Amino acid sequence: MYKTITGRNIRTAIVGCGRISKNHFGSIATHAGDIELTAICDNDHKVLAACSEQHGVKAYLDLEEMLRQEQLDLVVLCTPSGLHSMQAQMAAKHNINVMTEKPMATRWHDGVSMVKACDEAGVRLFVVKQNRRNATLQLLKSAVDKERFGRIYMVNINVFWTRPQEYYDSAKWRGTWEFDGGAFMNQASHYVDLVDWLIGPVESVQAYTGTLARNIEVEDTGVASIKWRSGALGSMNVTMLTYPKNLEGSITIIGEKGTVRIGGLAVNEIQHWEFADSDPDDERVKSASYETTSVYGFGHPLYYKNVIDVLRGEAEPETDGREGLRSLEVLIATYLSARDGRRVSLPLDY
């Protein structure tokens, strides 16, 4: 039985004050009536000092010390992906709920260990999938759930972005297998999530990856052919080499009774929406599209709303640890396929 938090703010700490943490600082401020920033942790003295001064909270260089010293309800992991499992298990030992950025882990067994540790401690494990909250994808999910497509025949996902060498050089962990993962696991992780969340369980994956231009351990480009258990076929095409800037994050679904394409920089524009039968959702298509200069979208505050409601005992989690494992499994299958030159069936046999 999970402990509910009522009658006070949810005391929260952010671990890792880098690129994505700004979305979390902003989300906590948005929900100031329910959640408060209590402490921060980072291993960079300068970054830590600047964030501590900006947000007026206590700062820690050591995570274990922070977990011991502070009375926390929730720890938010914005650290390199390869550290998530160890840090989540550490928080669970202190009976603290965990929210982790994507991907939840870089290895399958690390993800499973996170879920097991939080289960045993009786704490929540949330995996951030904020793109699900985007208005465009909410409409698409509604259409799929209402079976407006009829039988889905084909799905295509494109992530055509750019990450220059300077991006990877900005931190030692970037572009490494142990801490980061490549274009599929890091940058395209939210799009891999759409594979199962929207279309359903995957039967098998056949993938190719390449490090074509960047001086990194992992792939900067990859393609994957996907077969779903429903019989639908599809592909995912990912590159961080688009010239000269981010071009497209899109999904196209072609079905028996409908065709939809959501594109733009980060699935923020409904570019084609056509079904055999009409539905009230059709009136919302024009208003669902939005302008964005960020590939992150605007879903973090909405994601936090669900987390708050869950910790208050008023809702079920939209994306918990088990839900996070679903997309991690597709990612691991993709990498196994590319490494071994074979088709990989799911579920994985571990």
- High-pLDDT (> 70) share of the chain, %: 98
Return the exposure string of 63-78: e unless at least 16 CB atoms fall within 10 Å of the residue's CB, then b.
beebbeebebbbbbbb
pTM of the predicted model as reported, rounded to 2 decimal places: 0.94
pLDDT at 180 over 90: yes
> Mind listing the pLDDT tens digit for each residue in 258-302?
999 999 999 999 999 999 999 999 999 999 998 876 665 678 999
- The answer to whether 32 touches 301, Cβ cutoff 8 Å, is no
- Measured distance CA(290)–CA(274) in Å, rounded: 19
Specify the pLDDT at position 349.
77
Taking the C-alpha atoms of residue 196 and residue 329, their distance in angstroms, rounded to an integer, is 10
HEC secondary structure over 260-309: EEEECCCCCEEEEEEECCCCHHHHHHHHHCCCCCCCCCCCHHHHHHHHHH
Q: What pLDDT, on a 0 to 100 scale, did the predictor assign at position 296? A: 59
What's the average model confidence in pLDDT over 94-116? 97
Find the Cα–Cα–Cα–Cα dihedral 79, 115, 322, 38, rounded to 10°: -50
Cβ atoms 45, 63 nearer than 8 A: no
Residue 308 near residue 35 (C-beta atoms within 8 A) = yes
Give CA separation, 304 vs 10, 37, 127, 318, in Å: 11, 13, 11, 11
DSSP-assigned beta bridge partners for residue 233: 154, 227
Q: What is the reported pLDDT for 294?
A: 64
Q: What's 75's DSSP letter?
A: E
Q: Per-residue pLDDT tens for 59-85?
A: 999 999 999 999 999 999 999 999 999
Average predicted confidence (pLDDT) for the chain? 96
Q: How high is the pLDDT of residue 24?
A: 97
Mean pLDDT of 29-46: 97
How high is the pLDDT of residue 1? 80
